[in-house]
Amino acid sequence: MTGRDAPVRPDDLPPAIGLVRLLVLVMVLVTVPLAEPHPGQGASGVVVAVTLGLSAAAWLVWMFAGRTHPVVLPALIVMAAAGGVLAGVSWGSPAVAVGCVVTATAGVRLETEASLAITAETIAAFLIAGIATGAPAGTLAGYPAAFLGLWAFGLTRRAYVLRAEQAEEALEQARRAHKAEAQAAALAERARIAREIHDVLAHSLGAVSVNLQAAEGLLSSLPDDSPELAKAIECVERAGAFTREGLAEARRAILALRDTDEPGPVAPARSLADQLRALTDEYRADGDAPVDFSVTGEPYPVGAEAGLTAFRTAQEALTNARKHAPGQPVSVTLRFDPAATAVHVVNPLPPEAAAGPLAHSGAGYGLTGLRERAALIGGTLITGPADGQWSVCLTIPR
């Protein structure tokens, strides 16, 4: 859990409370010497001076020590004894504040038995000192009642603190359980998608591959004196290669979705420029339209995710050009700038009546998927008509 997300403890107090405690201590230190007996005058004055000093020192230790610091308990014990005696000797001054603070604090911070012992210590010290100095009966009865009442208040506060801490722990456990459930649901959804890809795409591509092999065998058995026949065989072979490549990519996608450690086929590492050049060569080999590929700027290595996004963008743009503008020339530019890498694919807009037979195929989410890919790596994708051309431009920060 990070510091920003760490829960606030129910018993953490704002700085204003610490300031009030310090002001109360100052008030005790200022007013007690003004009352009888004065510190240092006679035996009672010596007791006042000693107990006032001990109370102040223990008070400061209690204030600035951590909540669970081991010195807190000894500080409270000293405050209880010194504060009780001080209140009994200087019963006409605000010295009773020390006993009130120590009993309330003991009730909040300590177990019931320990806090009761400190409260009893405070009352006993006060009664002994008060009786010895001839304190009035009302004071002898009233001060212990105040100590007991503040101890009971401390117990109530402690019970609230414990309940709040338990509620915070229960809430944190619920958060962890919800996060685990969300992760399990995400893994289950990824497994479902992997099954769908395997059952629909992989099986379909497998069937296409088998039929292409059969067609290639049938075409090969025919007389080979026709150029159209050679072209048909070439197209079938290329379609078979595309199908096999699609099957390999579908397998890699399934492995990634299932988050398995099973190694997939490892292809030789190629630069982004080599990948795009091979892609445009395949597009040009189909003979549908001329395609031009160029690289500008000084090439540099591109990350795996960025390279895949750039490749998929060019692949989708070329496919869309074949579908919507058949026969039109296509220009693919890979630009390496100091601050970004860009892939720009441009083709002329065809006449409205010249849409190819594949113009209405597909689900229509290709560009949407590319924008999502670009956003995941911090890039931008801009598509649309401009100056009579259709432009697809991907920019990836370096």
Q: What is the pLDDT of residues 129-140, one digit of tens each?
A: 999 988 899 999
Q: In this model, does residue 80 exceed pLDDT 80?
A: yes
Q: In this model, does residue 42 exceed pLDDT 50?
A: yes
Average pLDDT over residues 197-211: 64
How crowded is residue 43: how many other Cβ atoms within 10 Å of its Cβ?
10
Nearest to 84 by CA among 19, 143, 141, 132: 143
Q: What percent of the chain has pLDDT over 90?
A: 32
Which of these CATH numbers, 3.40.50.300, 3.30.565.10, 3.90.1150.10, 3.20.20.70, describes 272-397?
3.30.565.10
Contact 48, 39 (CB under 8 A): yes
- 385 - beta bridge partners? 390
At 237, the pLDDT band (50, 70, 90 cuts) reads confident
Q: In this model, does residue 78 exceed pLDDT 60?
A: yes
Query: CB pairs under 8 A, 24+ apart, for 366-372?
Result: 366/316, 366/319, 366/320, 367/316, 367/320, 367/392, 369/316, 370/309, 370/312, 370/313, 370/316, 370/394
Residue 94 tokens read as: 């605000």
Helix axes 96-109, 15-31, angle to 10 degrees: 150
Cβ neighbours of residue 65 closer than 8 Å, sequence gap 6 or more: 71, 72, 75
Contact 205, 245 (CB under 8 A): no
Q: How far does CA 18 lie from the centroid of its chain?
A: 34
Residue spans of the domains in the chain: they are 15-176, 272-397
pLDDT averaged over every residue in the chain: 81
Nearest to 305 by CA among 220, 379, 210: 379
At 24, the pLDDT band (50, 70, 90 cuts) reads confident
Least reliable range by pLDDT among 11-20, 164-173, 307-316, 349-358? 349-358
As a whole number of Å, the CA-based R_g of the chain is: 42
Q: What is the pLDDT of residues 366-393, one digit of tens each?
A: 788 888 889 988 999 999 888 889 999 9
Q: What is the pLDDT of residues 272-324, one digit of tens each?
A: 899 899 888 888 876 667 899 999 999 998 888 888 889 889 988 888 888 88
pLDDT at 18: 79
Q: What is the pLDDT of residues 259-268, one digit of tens each?
A: 654 444 444 4
Nearest to 104 by CA among 130, 126, 122, 128: 122
Residue 199 tokens read as: 């059952």
pLDDT at 141: 93
Which alpha helices (DSSP H) does the chain contain, by range? 15-31, 42-64, 72-89, 96-109, 112-133, 137-196, 203-220, 227-257, 272-285, 304-324, 366-376
At 92, the pLDDT band (50, 70, 90 cuts) reads confident
pLDDT at 252: 67
Q: What is the pLDDT of residues 177-189, one digit of tens each?
A: 999 888 888 877 8
Sheet holding 380-386, edge to edge: 291-296, 330-336, 340-348, 389-397, 380-386
Q: How far apart are CA 234 and CA 282, in angstroms?
A: 12
* pTM of full prediction above 0.75: no
